[in-house]
A and B are shown apart, each in its own frame.
Chain A
Amino acid sequence: MHRLRHLRHVCLAVVFVVMAAAPALAQSQQLKATVDRDQLGAGDAAQLYLTFEGTQDIPAPSLSLPQGLTSRYVGPTSRMSVVNGQTTSSVTHRYLLIPQQAGSFRVGPFHFTIHGTTYTAPAITLEVVAAGTPVSAAAATEGGPPAGRLEDRIFVTLETKKNTLYLNEKALLTVKLYVNQVAIRDANFPVFENAGFTMERIGTPRQYQINKNDLLYNILEFNLLFFPTRTGDLTLGPARVQCTQLISRKNNNFPDEFFSSFFGAQETHGLELASNALPITVLPFPEEGRPVDFKGAVGQFTLNAQIAPGRVALGDPVTLTMKVTGDGNLKTVSTPVLAGMQGFKTYDAQRTETEREVAFEQVLVPRDADLTQIPAVGFTYFDPSTRRYKTARAGPFPLEVLASGSPGATKVVESKEAAAQPRAPEELGSDIIYIKEDPGRWQSPQARLYRHPVVAVFLAVPLLILLGLWSWSEHQYRLSTDTAYARRLRASPKAQKGYRQAAADMAAGRHQEFYAGVSRTLREFLADKCRASAPAITAASLDSLPGCDRLDENGIKTIKDLLTKSDDIRYASLAASPDEMKEDLALLRQALDRIEKIHA
C-alpha cells in the first residue's frame, strides 16, 4: 500500500515537470530580420525589425552597417500567445535605417550570440535612390554615379576675404549652410574650437537662395568677426553647425505618394555638419617706426575730443571727452595719451564702448590758476592697410581757470532741459572700495570708554555735588522756616563768639564791656537753647526757664552768680580786678559748656 502511494507521487512529479517544460520545448528559438520597404529615396528612412522568437529576454543588439547608412534604435515590442495549450513568445527590436547617400546597401547577414544562444538571419538589401527620383526607377539608375549624396545636398562652408592678417586685426568670416531638398530645422550658430582667435557675432543669420552646379540651394549665412590673438600660421575652423534633419516615414498602406506622405509621419535625426578649415597667417606688428605709446590698437581710427566746461574755478573738475571711431578692433583701443598734465590732477578715465566707437571721459582738476589750456591728446594705432603706425590727435583745448572765490567763478547748475529728459539707467560696476592709507587712531581692540576711570569720576562727582547742594539747600530752607532750629543751630557759634569777645575785653581791661558781654552771651545762649526771649532771662527767672531743669545745681548757681555780678558791675559802676575777670571768664566757659549739654 505504501509502495503504491510512493509510485503515484513519482508519476505526478514526472507529469508536472513534463507539462512545465512543454512550452519551452515547443518553442524553436530563431531570428527574423525584415524591413518595411527595401526601396527608398535619399532623405527617407526604412524600418528594420529584428524579431527573436521563443524568448523575450533579449536586449537590443548593436548593428554593423555599411558605409553611408546610419541607424537609430526605436524600441522593442514583446508578444506572447497561447494557442491550444501551446505558448509562443517573441520580442521585436525596431531600428530606423537612414541612408546618407543613394546606392545599394546590404545589411547583414545578422549573427548574434546572446545568453549563450546563437541567432542568425540572412542579409537584407536596401535600394536608395536620389531624392525626387521615383523609387520604382531606382533599378534603372543602379550602377550610375552616386548622385544625390547627402553631403552634396547639405554642407557648410567657411569663407574669409583675408588669409593674411596682423595681430588683433579685424576680419570678416562667413559661414554658409547649403541645403538642397533636405528638410532641416533648429540650425545652431556655428561653433569653433580654435585657439588663437576670438570671435564676435555680427547681425542675425541671413537666408537666401543660389544656384550652384545646376542645383538650387537654400543658404543660411552666419557672419562673424574674428581677431587673431597670436602670431604664426594658424588654422581657422572647421566650423561645426548642429541641426535637426526631418525624415519622412511613409505610410505603406497608401500606394499613392500624396496619401502616403499625408498620412505618414516625420522622424527627426540630429546632424552635425563640419566645414572646411582655413589657413590663416598672422603677422606680428612691425618693429620699425613703432611709437612708444603704441598699445596694440589695430584699424583705421579718428580721434575727436572736447572739454566741458571751458571756464572753471580753481579746483573744480573739467571733463575731457575723447571719442575714438573707425573701422578696426575696438577692443584694442586704450585711453589716449595725455601728455603735459602737470598742472592737473587726473583721475582714471571711464571707458564706454559701442558698436562703432569707444568713448573715454577723463576728469581733470586744474591745480594752478595760471593754466590756459589743456594740452593735445594723441591716440596711436597700427593701420594694416598701409602697414604703418599712425597717431590721431585732438586739441589743445583753451581753458580759463578762475581763482577760487572770484566773482566770475562758474557755478554748476543743471539745466531744466537736462532735468526733464529721462535718462537711460546707467549700468555701474560694483567692487569693494580701495584700502585706506591713513591708519587712523590706534587703540587696543579691547579698549572701551565705559571702562575708563574718568567716566567713573564724571559719574560720581556730579552726583556728590548734587547731594551736597541738595543738603545745603534743604538746610538753608529750614533755617529760614524753622526759627527754633535756626536759633539752636546758631546758639553755639554765637556763644563762642561772645566768649572770644569777652576774653578780648578782659585782655584790654574793659571790665564794663567784659561783664556786659558775659551777661549777653549767657542770656542769648540760654534763650536760643531754651526757646525763650533773651531780655526776659534774669537770675531770678532762671529757675522757671523751660529746659533749665536739665542743668545741675552748680551750673544754675554759676549762671546766676555771673548774671548777678554782671548786673552789679554794669549798673552799679563797680570795679573788677583783672584776676576777678579772669576767674569769671573761666566760670563763663564752664557755664557755656553746661548749657551746651541741655539739648545734647
Chain B
Amino acid sequence: MHKKRLFLFVGMSVFTALILGPAPEGHPQDAAFAKANNHYKNGEFKEAIAAYESILGEDRASAALYFNLGNAYFRRHQLGRALLSYERARRLRPRDPEIQTNLRLARSNLPYVRPAGMKLFKRISRMPFQWINLDEGTLGVLCVYLALMALLCVMALRKTARRRLKVPAQALAVIFVLGLSLMYVKIMDLGREALVVRPRAEARFAPFEKATVHFELTEGMAVTVVDEKQGWLKVERPDGKTGWLPDDAVALM
C-alpha cells in the first residue's frame, strides 16, 4: 500500500515538473514589467500601456500583466480594451478575486446588454470555465482519465473485483467523456471568441462600408468570429445573428 502511494506521489511530481518546467527566476521580462508598473504609478497610463504591450509582443504573458494592462486601459477610459485585458487575465487565473472585481467594475461601466437566445449547451459548456482555466481543465480531465485507467487495470487484474468496481468505473467514464466534450467545445472556441473594443460598431450584411447595417454592437459585447475576409471579420452574436465588422472593431480573447 505504501509502495503504491509512493509510486503515485513520484508519478504526480514527475508530471508536474515536466509540465511546469523549472521555477522562474530572474525572468528577462521582470524588469520591463517593473518599468511599466512605474509608468502606471506615475499616472503615465499611455506609456504604461505601451510598455505592457511590448512585453506581450515578446510572446510573454501572465495574469498580472493582463490585469495591470486592463487597469491602464481603464484609467484611459478605453473600457472595451480594459474588459478584454481583464478577460484574458481571468482566463489565466479565473479564481483571482482582484481580477474578478475589476472585471465586474469594467463591465458595470459599459452599456453592455447580453443578447438573449444563447444556446443552452453553449451556456452550460462555458460554465466550468468561469472557475477553472483551460490548463486546469486539461489536468482535471487527465486525472479522471488516469483514475479510470487505474480502475480498469485493477479490474483487468482481479476478475473478482470487476463487479464491485463496475459502477465507479462507469461514473468515471461518464465524467471523462463529459469533461472531454467540454474541453473540445472550449478548444474549438479558442481563437474565435472576441470582444467589441469600439464604443459602437455596426455589423453589416457584407464586408464593405456601404453594405446595409444588420445590427449594432456596443463596446464590451462578446462575439464569435466565424469568418475573415480582407480586413473584415464575420462575427456571430450569442443569439446567432451574424454580420461583418471591420477587424479593428473587435479583438480576439
- Please determine whether B149 and A463 come into contact, CB atoms closer than 8 angstroms: yes
- Please determine whether A459 and B142 come into contact, CB atoms closer than 8 angstroms: yes
Would you call A7 an interface residue if the criterion is a C-beta within 8 Å of the partner chain's C-beta atoms? no
- Please determine whether B152 and A440 come into contact, CB atoms closer than 8 angstroms: no
Contact with A along B113-155 (1 / 0, CB 8 A): 0000000000000000000001100110010011001101100
Set A446, A458, A469: member contacting B15, Cβ < 8 A: A458
- Please determine whether A442 and B61 come into contact, CB atoms closer than 8 angstroms: yes
- Please determine whether A465 and B149 come into contact, CB atoms closer than 8 angstroms: yes
- Please determine whether A473 and B156 come into contact, CB atoms closer than 8 angstroms: yes
Contact with B along A523-558 (1 / 0, CB 8 A): 000000000000000000000000000000000000
Select the residue from A444, A449, A452, A454 with max chain B CB neighbours within 10 A: A449
- Please determine whether A477 and B159 come into contact, CB atoms closer than 8 angstroms: yes
- Please determine whether A435 and B24 come into contact, CB atoms closer than 8 angstroms: no
- Known contacts A442-B61, A466-B152; is A449 also within 8 Å of B146 by CB? no
Chain A residues lying within 8 Å of B156, measured Cβ to Cβ, are 466, 469-470, 473
The stretch of A35-43, A171-179, A426-434, A508-516 in contact with B is: A426-434
- Please determine whether A432 and B149 come into contact, CB atoms closer than 8 angstroms: no
Tier of interface size on chain A: 20 to 34
- Please determine whether A448 and B134 come into contact, CB atoms closer than 8 angstroms: yes
Chain B residues lying within 8 Å of A440, measured Cβ to Cβ, are 62-65, 93
| Count of A-B residue pairs with CB < 8 Å | 107
Select the residue from B59, B149, B183 with max chain A CB neighbours within 10 A: B149
Would you call B181 an interface residue if the criterion is a C-beta within 8 Å of the partner chain's C-beta atoms? no
Chain A contact residues: helix, strand, loop or mixed: loop
Look across to chain A and name the residue whose beta carbon is closest to the beta carbon of B148. Answer: A462
Chain A residues lying within 8 Å of B64, measured Cβ to Cβ, are 436, 438-440
**CB proximity of B251 to chain A, nearest CB, Å:** 13
Chain A residues lying within 8 Å of B30, measured Cβ to Cβ, are 439
Chain B residues lying within 8 Å of A455, measured Cβ to Cβ, are 138, 142
Set B60, B88, B106, B157: member contacting A442, Cβ < 8 A: B60
Set A436, A437, A449, A477: member contacting B135, Cβ < 8 A: A449
- Please determine whether A473 and B19 come into contact, CB atoms closer than 8 angstroms: no
- Please determine whether B65 and A439 come into contact, CB atoms closer than 8 angstroms: yes
Tier of interface size on chain B: 35 or more
**Bound-state Cα–Cα, A450 to B190, Å:** 13
Would you call A443 an interface residue if the criterion is a C-beta within 8 Å of the partner chain's C-beta atoms? yes
- Please determine whether A454 and B105 come into contact, CB atoms closer than 8 angstroms: no
Would you call B27 an interface residue if the criterion is a C-beta within 8 Å of the partner chain's C-beta atoms? yes
Would you call A145 an interface residue if the criterion is a C-beta within 8 Å of the partner chain's C-beta atoms? no
Would you call B244 an interface residue if the criterion is a C-beta within 8 Å of the partner chain's C-beta atoms? no
Chain A residues lying within 8 Å of B101, measured Cβ to Cβ, are 432-433
Contact with A along B145-179 (1 / 0, CB 8 A): 11001101100110100000000000000000000
List which B23-44 residues lie within 8 A (CB) of chain A. Answer: 24, 27, 29-30, 33, 37, 40-41
Chain A residues lying within 8 Å of B152, measured Cβ to Cβ, are 466, 470
Contact with A along B52-68 (1 / 0, CB 8 A): 00001001111111011
Look across to chain A and name the residue whose beta carbon is closest to the beta carbon of B67. Answer: A436
**Bound-state Cα–Cα, A374 to B145, Å:** 59
**CB proximity of A437 to chain B, nearest CB, Å:** 7
**Bound-state Cα–Cα, A458 to B105, Å:** 41
**Bound-state Cα–Cα, A431 to B106, Å:** 9
Interface residues, chain B, CB within 8 Å of chain A? Answer: 15, 18-19, 24, 27, 29-30, 33, 37, 40-41, 56, 59-65, 67-68, 70-71, 74, 88, 92-93, 98, 101-102, 105-106, 134-135, 138-139, 142, 145-146, 149-150, 152-153, 156-157, 159, 183, 187, 190
Shortest beta-carbon contacts, A-B, top 3: A462-B149, A436-B64, A449-B135
Interface residues, chain A, CB within 8 Å of chain B? Answer: 430-446, 448-450, 452, 454-455, 458-459, 462-463, 465-466, 469-470, 473, 477
With A444-B61, A455-B138 known, 12 other A-B pairs at CB within 8 A are A430-B105, A435-B40, A440-B65, A444-B59, A444-B60, A448-B187, A450-B138, A455-B142, A462-B153, A465-B153, A466-B156, A477-B159
